[in-house]
Chains A and B, each alone.
Chain A
Amino acid sequence: MAATQTPVPLFTVRSSSQVFHCPARTHPLHFASNFSKFAKASLSLRQSRIKNLTTPRATPSSSSPPTTFHGQCYVLGDNIDTDQIIPAEHLTLVPSNPNEYRKLGSFSFSGLPTSLYPIPFIQPGTDSTQYPIIIAGANFGCGSSREHAPVALGAAGVRAVVAESYARIFFRNSVATGEVYPIELEQEGVNKQCTTGDIVTVDLERNVFINHTKGKEFVLKPIGDAGPVIDAGGIFAYARKTGMISSVV
């Protein structure tokens, strides 16, 4: 990164009213691991190991979804399938088990061919990523129905994927779990205009994606039918909200 650039806060600190609402899982260990990630943002862009400042993934009492995501991006091409996102040998890890959830995250994108993607998504020796935002091409998440895919990304610290288009099961699983926010771009080839490490902002209120490093702005597609489910906090919360299942467990 250029030494002359003005240091930019790498992550916006989320006010308590803007937390991402996810399926009503009461998972003490899950929340604890997220709150512990609430480290101070590093203002030095020359620092190679940047602490992940993320919003808490879910709080039962919160009401509105987040409107912005900000940080370094990791850039991918087309047709990134689930085997590249989380190789099948790691599927013995059970996502609903807190210890194994974290381990799953540490293997995110370990299936990417190193010849095409020389920059590791997760630094060796760590279990989470410094890239909270993924920029991808078409058909992201194709292949298997394994929910381990969006879960691994979420566990690693990814907050949003901004892709040209998605494979349907991956998109559905992202929405159902609330692990990553699946966002679509209006135009093609945006990933070709971004480089891993660029500082970006995803603004869901204005529906724009801004690459600060490259000085470019792109339009996002509105979330569509999945909106009410995401806003409610996942399929279970949506079903409770619409009366499909009772709230009393």
Chain B
Amino acid sequence: MATTVVPPHAAFFGAKKEIGARSSFSPSISAHRCRKHFLNKVLAVMAPAQPSRAPATTGSVKHGMTMTEKILAKSSDKSKLEPGENIWVNIDVLMTHDVCGPGTIGIFKKEFGKNAKVWDREKIVIIPDHYIFTSDERANRNVDIIRDFALEQNIKYFYDIKDLSNFKVNPDYKGVCHVALAQEGHCRPGEVLLGTDSHTCNAGAFGQFATGIGNTDAGFVMGTGKLLLKVPPTMRFVLDGEMPHYLLAKDLILQIIGEITVAGATYKSMEFVGSTVESLNMEERMTLCNMVVEAGGKNGVVPPDETTFKYLEGKTSVNYEPVYSDESAKFISEYRFDVSKLEPVVAKPHSPDNRALARECKDVKIDRVYIGSCTGGKTEDFMAAAKVFLASGKKVKVPTFLVPATQKVWIDLYSLPVPGSGGKTCSQIFEEAGCDTPASPSCGACLGGPRDTYARMNEPMVCVSTTNRNFPGRMGHKEGQIYLASPYTAAASALTGYVTDPREFLP
């Protein structure tokens, strides 16, 4: 828990240390004042890392376990375990997609034999989503490979697509794997979910252990249903305060990554708690956990509650057992944020931790806006963007690409009324604002992909994007410049043609 020690380099949310004096909002407080006002204004506190004590020196382990430790203990049939232990864990769900599926299948067959059967045909979910709407022959072939395997193994959950010219005529096709996993009820509290994709940590929003693995590990799980995992220590992020109407979960996670850097959570679990987190809906919680990997994190977790259970109603018939961190659990560090004092932020090129206030980037001219991906292409993300366009009533100044994550999201865009719009749908508002027509659901240009991918950056340009990474070349061109942002900020930027704080439009 929080200590009374505030190190001189205590993290200050919102204000960068060097520009603290200029900021017009409150958290421009020096370390000295922070120590003095510590009890009244907790900005961010980092508990010094607890040195781990070998059990032999302390007798029985006297502290409780964190959520992540508990889930892993349960899944490895252990009553207790400590961070740092390497354990064999039973896997509840294994996910793979069209990019890593073929490689995983290749390894599975090589190691277990070409006639081997997967460990459980109901626990593997195969979701083509990455390179779908393309004429690239190898990409198309890769979907064929995973189809052949799904048929051969009688895989229960294979979200197939055959007709690439019209996604709507493919009844099984879903779209982006992480959103599909959630929407189809494969994410459940207390379980262990592994996927051949780094953003598998997205599912931690459901209070489960979810992380990304490579083809070899996945091939191993395919045959055995187990994997050797190292128990991570947990970093706790306490987010309290009423969420300002111009902030979204994306702002929160960009704030955090900017605080701890892209390696700040390497080999660690990130646990998100606090009143703000409790107020978030499931899609916002997913956005939070989705980018845990961008801080190097192994997994992210949000304690399950009524919001979680309500979301799961009707989606899954599998019984689940939520777990929660013990009162006496040990965390390796703790950060506290007063969310009511935060401002919209972006991650400037070329790193997700290159944090800056959106309003301080208002002179950055942009060439396009991209709203999509597992991180920022869910229904709530589009609703948020629509709110900004609605509030403005004007047209966008730059090409604005919209890529719904899944078929369900696409349908929502065309059917759900946007609050305060007098019954208009997102799609109508987007059309009136001059955005591109919402595209076929897939990962799209988030990671570039084959050259003919919709909205791929094929020339150097500046893009504001609701996606998750902005390393050089991420969306296609090596000299492209990507500003990661929330859907509010992305929509606001589309309206001005510059990186724009959404408060310019939101009342």
Contact surface of A with B, Cβ cutoff 8 Å: 23-27, 79, 81, 83-84, 87-89, 91-97, 111-114, 138-139, 142-148, 165, 167-169, 172-173, 176-177, 225, 229, 234-236, 238-239, 244-245, 249
List 11 other contacts, CB 8 Å, given A25-B111, A96-B110, A144-B198.
A92-B136, A92-B142, A111-B478, A113-B478, A142-B262, A147-B100, A147-B215, A172-B213, A173-B215, A176-B214, A244-B224
Which of chain B's residues have a CB closer than 8 A to the CB of A88? Answer: 447-449, 474
Whether, in the assembled complex, B157 has its beta carbon less than 8 Å from a beta carbon of chain A, the answer is no
Query: Do residues A143 and B106 form an inter-chain contact, with CB atoms below 8 A?
Result: no
Shortest Cβ distance from A165 into B: residue: B263
Residues of A within 8 A of B230 (CB): 225
Shortest Cβ gap from B358 to chain A (Å)? 23
Query: Which of B274-282, B324-332, B465-473 faces chain A?
Result: B465-473
Contact A95 B215 (CB under 8 A): yes
* Cβ B448 vs Cβ A87 within 8 A: yes
Separation in Å of the B483 CB from the closest CB of chain A? Answer: 17
Docked Cα-Cα span, A93 to B130, in Å, equals 13
Q: Is B504 part of the binding interface, using a Cβ–Cβ cutoff of 8 Å?
A: no
Q: Which residues of A contact B447 (CB under 8 A)?
A: 83, 88, 144
Contacts of B488 in A (CB 8 A): none
Which of A26, A83, A225, A244 lies at the interface centre, i.e. has the most chain B CB atoms within 10 A of its CB? A83
Tell me whether A249 and B112 are in contact (CB under 8 A): yes
17 contacts between A and B (CB under 8 A): A83-B472, A83-B473, A84-B471, A92-B141, A94-B106, A96-B102, A114-B478, A146-B214, A147-B215, A148-B103, A165-B263, A165-B266, A169-B214, A173-B215, A176-B220, A239-B228, A244-B224
Write the chain B residue with the least CB distance to A175.
Answer: B216
Q: A96–B215 contact, CB under 8 A?
A: yes
B153 at the interface (CB under 8 A from A): no
Interface of A is mostly: loop
Cα of A196 to Cα of B105 in the assembled complex, Å: 37
Q: Which residue of A lies closest to B230 (CB)?
A: A225
**CB closest chain-A residue, reference B223:** A245
Q: Is the CB of A142 within 8 A of B472?
A: no
**In the complex, what distance in Å separates the CA atom of A176 from the CA atom of B220?**
10
Shortest CB–CB separation between residue B222 and chain A, in angstroms? 12
**Contacts known (A172-B217, A249-B112); A225 close to B86, Cβ less than 8 A:** yes
B267 located at the interface, meaning its Cβ lies under 8 Å from any Cβ of chain A in the complex: yes
Distance in angstroms between the alpha carbons of A26 and B159 in the assembled complex: 32
Output the residue of B197, B478, B479 with the most chain A CB within 10 A: B478
User: Please, what's the 1-or-0 string for B214-248, where 1 marks a CB less than 8 Å from any CB in chain A?
Assistant: 11110010011010101000000000000000000
How far is A79 from B478 in the complex, measured between Cα atoms in Å? 15
Interface core residue of B88, B215, B469 (most chain A CB under 10 Å):
B215
B174 at the interface (CB under 8 A from A): no
Would A92 and B131 be within 8 Å (CB), given that A81-B469, A87-B473, A176-B217 are in contact? Answer: yes
A33–B310 Cα distance when bound, in Å, is: 56
With a cutoff of 8 Å between Cβ atoms, the chain B residues found around residue A95 in the complex are 103, 106, 215
Q: Give min CB distance, B114 to chain A, whole Å.
A: 10
**In the complex, A145 Cα to B266 Cα: how many Å?**
14
Q: How many residues of B contact A (CB 8 A)?
A: 59
| A residues less than 8 Å from B110 (CB atoms) | 25-27, 96
In angstroms, Cα B216 to Cα A245, docked, is 15
Complex: A93 Cα to B215 Cα, angstroms: 13
Q: Check B290 for interface membership: any CB of A closer than 8 A.
A: no
Q: Across the interface, which residues of B come within 8 angstroms of A89, CB to CB?
A: 448-451, 476
| Contact A139 B107, beta carbon cutoff 8 Å | no
**Chain A residues with CB under 8 A of B293:** 169
User: Which residues of the partner chain A approach B197 to less than 8 Å between Cβ atoms?
Assistant: 144-145
Could you tell me the distance in whole angstroms from the C-beta of B200 to the nearest C-beta in chain A? 8
CA distance A25 to B107 in the complex (A): 9
Residue B212 is within 8 A (CB to CB) of chain A in the complex = yes
A24-B111, A92-B139, A94-B106 known; A145 and B198 CB under 8 Å?
A: yes
Q: A143 vs B468: C-alpha distance in the bound complex, in angstroms?
A: 10
Q: Please determine whether B215 and A113 come into contact, CB atoms closer than 8 angstroms.
A: no
Q: Is residue B486 within 8 Å, beta carbon to beta carbon, of the partner chain?
A: no
At the interface, yes or no: B296 with Cβ under 8 Å from chain A? yes
Partner of A142, one of B102, B296, B298: B296
Q: Which residues of B286-305 are within 8 A (CB) of A?
A: 293, 296, 298
Contact A139 B449 (CB under 8 A): no
Known: A94-B103, A96-B107, A167-B266. A229 touches B228 (CB 8 A): yes
Q: With the chains together, A126 CA to B115 CA distance in Å?
A: 37
Q: Let me know if A234 and B216 touch, CB within 8 A.
A: yes
Is B99's beta carbon under 8 Å from chain A?
yes
B351 at the interface (CB under 8 A from A): yes
Chain A contacts for B379, CB-based, 8 A: none
* CB-based nearest A residue for B217: A176
B266 in complex: contacting residue of A112, A114, A139, CB < 8 Å:
A139
